[in-house]
Amino acid sequence: MPSDKLLLDDETVEAETRTHVKVLVVPFLLGLAIMLIGGYFVGAVGDAGGGTPRLVGLVVLAVLFVWGTVLPFLRWLTWTYTLTNRRLIEQKGIVTRSGRIIPLARINDVAYEKGLVDRMLGCGTLIIHDASQQAGLRLRDIPHIEDLHRRISRLVLSSHAPEARRDEQF
């Protein structure tokens, strides 16, 4: 999750999450299939050709395993969303990190969507629109979506409250 160097002096973490583990089902099944194919391949090829065909096949399967299973897991592991009392922070990237920070005071709208599978698994997509020119931020496959939606809504309303009181004074 975010390092302390990203937090401001008076900022506290309210919630931290990453996408629902359901995004790893296909990579897991792919990895399982690759391992089964690898086991069959080793048994079928045996020591034919001095072991070179077996070695080449295993290298190809290892590359496919890393590409189809390990990389999706690392993407899932390093893609995080952090809600603080002042900002929403999205961070992603394995080698090259990137992110987006939205101050809560700039958020205009917070909505969520849940399909049938999402409802069964308790996750959904959170859609956040802010006062910038960028498209709304879509946080897909967020676990416990209603809880995070309530937390963000509460914090956004409290961040707008000082502005509302300031406007009433004039």
Q: Which two tokens stand for residue 158?
A: 């409290």
Residue 115 lies in a domain: yes
| 140 φ/ψ angles, rounded to the nearest 5 degrees | -85, 150
Sheet holding 107-113, edge to edge: 107-113, 123-130, 137-143
Q: Which domain holds residue 132?
A: 103-169
What's the confidence (pLDDT) of residue 170? 45
> What does DSSP assign to residue 132?
S
Residue 97 lies in a domain: no
Min mean pLDDT across 6-15, 75-84, 91-100 is at 6-15
pLDDT for 115-150, tens place per residue?
999 999 999 999 998 877 677 788 999 999 999 999
What's the confidence (pLDDT) of residue 100? 86
pLDDT for 55-89, tens place per residue?
898 999 999 999 999 999 999 999 999 999 999 98
Q: For residues 124 and 114, is the Cβ–Cβ distance under 8 A?
A: yes
Structural domains of the chain, count: 2
